[in-house]
Structure 1
């Protein structure tokens, strides 16, 4: 028997083009029951053929509709991702599989991988609702060779609680970005609050002050012991101190080299050079000047070192991931207190801290008394020196903070790079 037209199928089954599959089945079985009573086999054959053709027609139509919808959805997601990547001249091709999404990039090197994966992750996380979807992101060169590939899983809505089971690298990156963004401002807020607890502020600043003296002594080859509001320093140089400090610097360099921490390697080399110069290349009078300068000076440069070291990755033996938060609070509290104090001194709203803790303002052995009376620094020179040091340290802190913000913001970084490359 020849195939019927769709119109004939509708007519045989007493249906219209607006009917659905349920209508087709209902009408078919109703007519079958009626025809069985009459015993007309030819009508039964026509009914079966009409039913079979209409069902097949509807299934093909549904598949086509699903494919069209699928293509629209692919295009929708691809357009959203490409809109995010447009500013950095990157486009993707997106394909939907039965189990995952395939996102294809052309000739994107591995240096941009982390940022692009994070951007795609954030975009899909916003757009997919109640989803636990695997996404495979691949970059191919112009010869269709795989450059890199990354698999991520998007968990949203009712599946959001599963996100912690996937994408460990992305979640750690998010945490690090948030830490780099908010840690320093929050630390300054805490430091501002701590300034109202004067005894606590004084103890923190006093310890950093004494370590300022001690570090000058240690790096100049002298024994030094920090005590409460004082530092006991040996009058003669010690090879034990020099080589002890040098060995510690060398071990730090070695561990950093083993763990690929280049910043700490560079810092270690700089510290070794500073130690050599201070120990063997400066006069005793210069050492004495640096020693007395290093108390308040340490309040600035040691606190700054603690603050910017928060962003560094020290060797694992330092357990820096834990201690760096305490170091940041201590550094910011000391820096903020010293910076604001010397600013007030420079505008005449505070007094220069002459003397010592134990001997009072009249003690001629105080740091600033020695710098003024023995070294020959004028009062203005003392004020200007510490204020200048404070502003230099503030610029270093701001530069470090902004640099790590820039480093953790992939899109902003790429825009800047492209801007200069186009020029």
Structure 2
């Protein structure tokens, strides 16, 4: 028990000095604990950084300088995001979406009117799409088909294997669209499954064969439209990252205009229809449709033209939708140019 007075009468200990030594020891203990905690935290951060570098991932701890940085206001975050969204690359993409598709269609329409360019374009760009159109139509009608550059071999009778494989692929596309909430996949898969059901189950053998013949020039317009539509894929898509969309839009525009221009001109100039025989492959498609399957010439022309206009309307809606999404960037790009 502490006695009154500045020192202990029994042992002579001065109380103030003892209290000072005790306070000093406590302070040293606290400082040592802090040093140990800081060293332990630094070691943990060093180990976390090492593990992150080895795993090629971002570290999970917050560096001291980042932790000390003041929190950004929510309004300022919105301004920063908008500024980042209007960088030069996005403005360039907005201009590309404005001009590339019309330019591709215009150049292709001029090329098909030039005999020399048209012949080269048909050899290297459009005939593969034409033959693929025959093959795709055959698959959707239940026939086995093998396309080549100038001829497509189609089985005489319907296959069992081809419809099952195609239905399985389209069903997988539809299911994955529903599972991943990719509504474009879901819609495309459902529409194509319906088209296969109509082509395979709704058409008899003769109607299916006639539709396969029709699918050459029709395929050029439909597949050409699909190829041009790939130019509007999102930034993370491989077609855009690998620049494949540039080749697809060229092929698509050439194929579409090769088919559409011919049948549009046939509305007033029936002699534009390529009746007769093709070297090495027999009757031409229009000749086979009229002579073998009994199609009326005026109906033949109108069906091709109606299909082409439908493709143009779909492409126009896609084009306007893309412009609507980048309209702000286009205005900013125009203002910067001015």
TM > 0.5 fold call: yes
- Given candidates 174, 184, 199, the residue that maps to 1:263 is 184
CA distance in 1, matches of 2:94, 2:173: 26
Aligned 8 A contact 1:261 1:315 in 2: no
Q: Root-mean-square deviation (CA), in Å?
A: 3.4
Higher fraction of helix: 2
Q: Which runs of 5+ in 2 are unaligned?
A: 1-69, 331-338
Higher fraction of strand: 1
Runs of 4+ in 1 over 6 A off after TM superposition: 99-103
168-177 vs 332-341, which deviates more?
Answer: 168-177
Change (3 A) 1:359 1:345: farther
Aligned residues: 256
Residues 183-210 of structure 1 show CA distances to partners (whole Å, capped at 9, x for unaligned) of 2023224424644423331122211111
Matches for 1:14-413 after TM superposition, within 5 Å: 104=75, 136-137=76-77, 149=78, 151-152=80-81, 167=84, 173-192=90-109, 194-195=111-112, 196=114, 197-203=117-123, 204-257=125-178, 260-312=181-233, 319-321=238-240, 322-348=243-269, 350-358=271-279, 363=282, 365-409=283-327
Residues 105-145 of structure 1 show CA distances to partners (whole Å, capped at 9, x for unaligned) of xxxxxxxxxxxxxxxxxxxxxxxxxxxxxxx14xxxxxxxx
- SS of residue in 2 equivalent to 1:232: strand
Structure with the bigger RCO (C-alpha within 8 Å, sep 6+) is 2
Aligned 8 A contact 2:134 2:219 in 1: yes
Aligned 8 A contact 1:346 1:383 in 2: yes
Aligned 8 A contact 1:252 1:315 in 2: no
CA distance in 2, matches of 1:277, 1:314: 35
CA distance in 2, matches of 1:171, 1:284: 56
Residues 32-84 of structure 1 show CA distances to partners (whole Å, capped at 9, x for unaligned) of xxxxxxxxxxxxxxxxxxxxxxxxxxxxxxxxxxxxxxxxxxxxxxxxxxxxx
Residues 334-365 of structure 1 show CA distances to partners (whole Å, capped at 9, x for unaligned) of 112222222222222852111343258xx5x3
For 1:146, the equivalent position in structure 2 comes to none
Deviation at residue 291 of structure 1 after TM alignment? 1.1
CA distance in 1, matches of 2:249, 2:222: 13
Aligned 8 A contact 1:278 1:287 in 2: yes
Change (3 A) 1:313 1:238: farther
Q: Which runs of 5+ in 1 are unaligned?
A: 1-98, 105-135, 138-148, 155-166, 413-423
CA distance in 2, matches of 1:384, 1:153: 48
Deviation at residue 245 of structure 1 after TM alignment? 1.7
Question: So what's the TM-score if we normalise by structure 2?
Answer: 0.65
Question: So what's the TM-score if we normalise by structure 1?
Answer: 0.53
For 1:95, the equivalent position in structure 2 comes to none
CA distance in 1, matches of 2:230, 2:273: 30
CA distance in 1, matches of 2:166, 2:263: 32
For 1:63, the equivalent position in structure 2 comes to none
